[in-house]
Amino acid sequence: MPEQFLDEIRTPVADGSAKVGDISSLTPRERQVLAEIMAGASNKEAGRTLGISPRTIEVHRARIMEKLGAKNACDLVRIVLRQGPRH
């Protein structure tokens, strides 16, 4: 189940109906970073996996949190889990 959910995060919505605070408002790279965060990766681990620096991961994480309205990492995970997988 967690792997299926991560696949849903990685896949953009085709109809372009993004809402503020919705995962579909994220860029493809932000979705990749979010999937790494949801998998429990540190900034350094996520950076290695995605081939970017840990600082760039931090920037993406900050933008993701801003777009989804999260105050901290725990809040971010709660918001994403509450939205559930998209169909």
Residue 49's contacts (CB-CB under 8 Å, 6 or more residues apart) are 36, 41
**Residue ranges of domains in the chain:** 2-83
Residue 6, CB half-sphere, CA atoms under 13 Å: how many? 13
- CATH code for 2-83? 1.10.10.10
**Mean per-residue pLDDT for 48-75?**
95
Tens of pLDDT, residue by residue over 2-54, are 555 555 555 544 444 444 478 889 999 999 999 999 999 999 999 999 999 99
* 69 has pLDDT over 70: yes
Q: What is the pTM of this model?
A: 0.72
**pLDDT for the residue 15:** 44
